[in-house]
Every structure is written in structure tokens, then in C-alpha cells.
Amino acid sequence: KQEVTQIPAALSVPEGENLVLNCSFTDSAIYNLQWFRQDPGKGLTSLLLIQSSQREQTSGRLNASLDKSSGRSTLYIAASQPGDSATYLCAVRIIQGAQKLVFGQGTRLTINP
């Protein structure tokens, strides 16, 4: 059974810092991996999607990497801003599971002005 883990559960850093969020998964047989952002009381917003054949994806100040063989992904946020404060979740699409995603429990990020 695929399990997705995100460490740390919470992270607080001062504004302007570059930071890395981690995601690990137990079964390397994945179709793709997505990073989402969730603001308090809101739904999830997709940030980046990496196909299993890709090593990284970039969008603005965000860069996500994928190392399928080691079961790891990282989300790099450059020059963090208070508006980046949110919970970040990663999710893997399991190959056998027709569009089904398995989510980690998220990292709650706080950027202090």
C-alpha cells in the first residue's frame, strides 16, 4: 500500500529565506506527483505536477524535483513571502489506481514578516 509522508509537519521561517519542503513515498511505481497549496478554510490549489519520467518542474519561485527511485520529492520555494504561508501537500498518482491520488498529511508553512 502506497504511503506518503511529509516532514516536517510545520515550519516557520523569516521572510526572504529560501526553503525546502520534503515528501517521501514508499512505492516507486507512481504515474506522477503533484504539489498542492491549501489556505485555511479553503480547497486545494495545484501548484506543480511532475510526470514520472520528469526530474523537475518550475513555476515562478517554485521548483519541484522528483527522484522516483529513492521515493522522494522536494518543493523549493525561493525568496519566501508572507503570502506563501499555507499548508503544502504532496500527492502521488498510483499507477494501478486510475486517477486516484494518495496524499501526504502536509507541511504547515508560516513565513514571518
Partner 1 sequence: DAGITQSPRYKITETGRQVTLMCHQTWSHSYMFWYRQDLGHGLRLIYYSAAADITDKGEVPDGYVVSRSKTENFPLTLESATRSQTSVYFCASSDPGGVGTDTQYFGPGTRLTVL
- What is the nearest approach in angstroms of partner 1 to the Cβ of residue 29? 16
Complex with partner 1: residue 91 or 111, whichever CB lies closer: 91
- What is the nearest approach in angstroms of partner 1 to the Cβ of residue 94? 11
Complex with partner 1: residue 47 or 77, whichever CB lies closer: 47
Handedness of CA 54, 110, 86, 107 (dihedral sign): positive
Contact 113, 15 (CB under 8 A): yes
- What is the nearest approach in angstroms of partner 1 to the Cβ of residue 13? 23
Applying CB under 8 A, which residues contact partner 1?
31-32, 34, 36, 41-46, 49, 89, 91, 93, 98-101, 103-106
Q: In terms of C-beta density within 10 A (0-12 exposed, 13-18 middle, 19 or more buried), how is residue 28 classed?
A: middle
Complex with partner 1: residue 58 or 105, whichever CB lies closer: 105
Contact 46, 34 (CB under 8 A): yes
Complex with partner 1: residue 71 or 80, whichever CB lies closer: 71
Residues 6+ apart with CB under 8 A from 98: none
